C-alpha cells in the first residue's frame, strides 16, 4: 500500500511538472510573438522578413536596429525582472500584496534619478558619460536603500522580515519627500522631463545604457531562479527551513540584494512602472504553479510579454505622441489590485 501511494505521488508530481513545462513553453511562444509584433508595428511599419532577406531600405534597418530593438529588449527585460522580483518578495514576506517597491528600492532608485535630472546639468560632465548618469544615479540610490536595510538589520542583530518591511516603508516616505523637494527646485523643462520619467517610459532606450542594465537584470533573475528551492522551504518557516539545510540568513540577504538589483536597474532605465510586480505573479499562480521555480520562470515570460505589449500600446494609442507606459500598466493593474484585496480579506 505504501509503495502504491509512493508511485501515485510520483506520477502526480510528474504530471504537474509536464503540465507546467507545457504551459511555460506556450508562454515562451507568446513572449516571442509579442517581441516580433513590437518590432514590426509602430509609427513606421516594418517587414521583418524583408529586413532578414536584405531587401529593406536603410531607413527601415536603422529604425529596427537603433530604435525598436533596444526599446523592445529593454521593455521585455524590465517586465521580466520586475515580475520575478515581485514573485520573490511575495514569497519572502509571505504576503500576496507585496510589491517590488515595498522594501523602498524603487523609491531610492527614483530619488537618485530625479536628483540627476535636476542637478545633472550643474555637474558639467563630459558628453561621453551623459547617457550613463541617470542610470548610475538610480542604481546608487537602490544600493543605498539596500545598505540601509542591512544597517538596521545588523543593529537589531538579525535579518528579520518585519524590520525589512518597516524600514522599506520609512525609506519610501523619505524618498517621496526628497522627490518633492527636487520637483520644487526644478525648472519647467526639468519638471516636464521628471514627471514623464516618473510615469515610466522606454522612449530613451539606446544600446549604451540598455546592454549593461539588461545584463545586470538578467543575471539577477537567473540567480534568483537558482534559489527557488530555498525560497520554497522558507515558506514553511525559518526554523523549519534551517532544519532542512537552508542557510536562512544568507538566503534572505541574497533574495533582498538580488531583488534590489532587479528593481533598481529597471527603474534606472524606465522610470517607475507600477503593478507589474504585483499582478504578474498572481496570474502565474492561478494558471501554472505555486512552486517558486516554475512561478519565477512563468512570471519572467508573462512580465516580459505584458511590458512589451503595454509599451506597444503606449506607442500606438496617441500617434505621433507617446503615452507613458506606466499609465497603461496602472490602468491594467489597479482593477486587479482591488479584486485581489477582496480575495485576501480576512
pTM of the model: 0.86
User: Looking at the predicted structure, is the pLDDT value of residue 346 above 60?
Assistant: no
CA dihedral of 25, 27, 32, 36, whole degrees rounded to 10: 150
Q: What is the pLDDT of residue 3?
A: 39
Q: What is the pLDDT of residue 159?
A: 58
Q: 212: buried, middle or exposed (CB in 10 Å: 19+, 13-18, 0-12)? A: middle
Contact between residue 300 and residue 223 where contact means Cβ atoms under 8 Å apart: no
State which fold the 68-344 domain adopts.
ABC transporter involved in vitamin B12 uptake, BtuC (1.10.3470)
Beta-carbon count within 10 A of 191 CB: 16
**DSSP, res 158:** S
Helix axes 325-344, 276-287, angle to 10 degrees: 60
User: Looking at the predicted structure, is the pLDDT value of residue 10 above 50?
Assistant: no
Contact between residue 324 and residue 204 where contact means Cβ atoms under 8 Å apart: no
Q: What is the pLDDT of residue 125?
A: 65
Q: What element of type H or E holds 7?
A: helix 2-40
DSSP letters for 161-186: HHHHHHHHHHHHHHHHHHHHHHHHH-
Region of poorest pLDDT, from 49-53, 94-98, 237-241, 258-262: 94-98
What's the pLDDT tens digit per position in 123-165?
666 666 666 777 778 878 888 887 777 677 667 655 566 777 7
Q: What is the pLDDT of residue 11?
A: 40
Q: Report how far apart the first and last C-alpha atoms of the chain are (Å, whole number).
A: 40
156 vs 80: which has the higher pLDDT: 80
Region of poorest pLDDT, from 67-71, 103-107, 214-218, 297-301: 103-107
- Taking the C-alpha atoms of residue 317 and residue 312, their distance in angstroms, rounded to an integer, is 9
Task: Give percent of the chain above pLDDT 70.
Answer: 87
- Taking the C-alpha atoms of residue 303 and residue 88, their distance in angstroms, rounded to an integer, is 14
What's the pLDDT tens digit per position in 239-296?
888 888 888 888 888 888 898 888 888 888 888 888 898 889 988 988 888 889 999 9
> Confidence class of residue 298 from pLDDT cuts 50, 70 and 90?
very high
Q: What is the pLDDT of residue 72?
A: 95
Query: Counting runs of H as helices and runs of E as strands, what totals does the chain give?
Result: 15, 0
Amino acid at each position: 500500500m505504501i509503495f502504491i501511494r509512493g508511485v501515485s505521488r510520483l506520477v502526480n508530481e510528474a504530471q504537474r511538472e509536464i503540465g507546467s513545462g507545457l504551459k511555460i513553453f506556450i508562454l515562451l511562444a507568446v513572449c516571442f510573438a509579442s517581441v516580433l509584433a513590437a518590432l514590426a508595428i509602430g509609427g513606421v511599419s516594418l517587414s521583418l522578413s524583408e529586413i532578414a532577406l536584405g531587401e529593406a531600405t536603410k531607413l527601415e534597418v536603422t529604425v529596427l536596429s537603433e530604435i525598436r530593438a533596444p526599446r523592445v529588449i529593454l521593455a521585455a527585460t524590465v517586465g521580466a525582472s520586475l515580475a520575478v522580483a515581485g514573485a520573490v518578495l511575495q514569497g519572502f514576506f509571505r504576503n500576496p500584496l507585496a510589491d517590488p517597491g515595498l522594501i523602498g528600492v524603487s523609491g531610492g532608485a527614483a530619488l537618485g534619478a530625479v536628483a540627476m535630472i535636476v542637478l545633472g546639468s550643474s555637474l558639467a560632465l563630459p558628453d561621453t558619460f551623459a547617457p550613463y548618469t541617470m542610470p548610475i544615479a538610480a542604481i546608487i540610490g537602490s544600493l543605498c536603500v539596500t545598505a540601509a536595510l542591512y544597517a538596521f538589520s545588523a543593529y537589531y542583530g538579525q535579518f528579520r522580515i518585519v524590520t525589512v518591511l518597516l524600514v522599506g516603508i520609512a525609506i519610501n516616505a523619505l524618498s517621496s519627500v526628497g522627490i518633492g523637494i527636487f520637483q520644487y527646485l526644478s525648472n519647467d523643462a526639468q519638471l516636464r522631463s521628471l514627471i514623464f520619467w516618473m510615469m515610466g517610459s522606454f522612449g530613451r532606450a539606446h544600446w549604451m545604457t540598455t546592454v549593461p542594465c539588461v545584463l545586470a537584470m538578467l543575471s539577477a533573475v537567473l540567480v534568483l531562479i537558482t534559489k527557488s528551492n530555498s525560497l520554497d522551504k522558507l515558506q514553511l518557516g525559518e526554523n523549519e527551513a534551517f532544519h532542512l539545510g537552508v542557510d536562512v540568513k544568507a538566503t534572505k540577504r541574497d533574495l533582498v540584494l538580488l531583488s534590489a538589483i532587479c528593481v533598481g536597474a529597471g527603474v534606472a532605465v524606465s522610470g517607475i512602472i507600477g503593478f507589474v510586480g504585483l499582478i504578474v505573479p498572481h496570474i502565474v499562480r492561478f494558471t501554472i504553479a505555486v512552486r517558486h521555480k516554475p512561478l519565477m520562470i512563468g512570471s519572467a515570460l508573462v512580465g516580459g510579454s505584458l511590458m512589451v505589449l503595454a509599451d506597444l500600446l503606449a506607442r500606438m494609442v496617441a500617434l505621433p505622441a507617446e503615452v507613458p507606459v506606466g499609465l497603461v500598466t496602472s490602468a491594467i493593474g489597479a482593477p486587479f489590485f482591488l479584486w485581489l484585496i477582496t480575495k485576501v480579506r480576512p
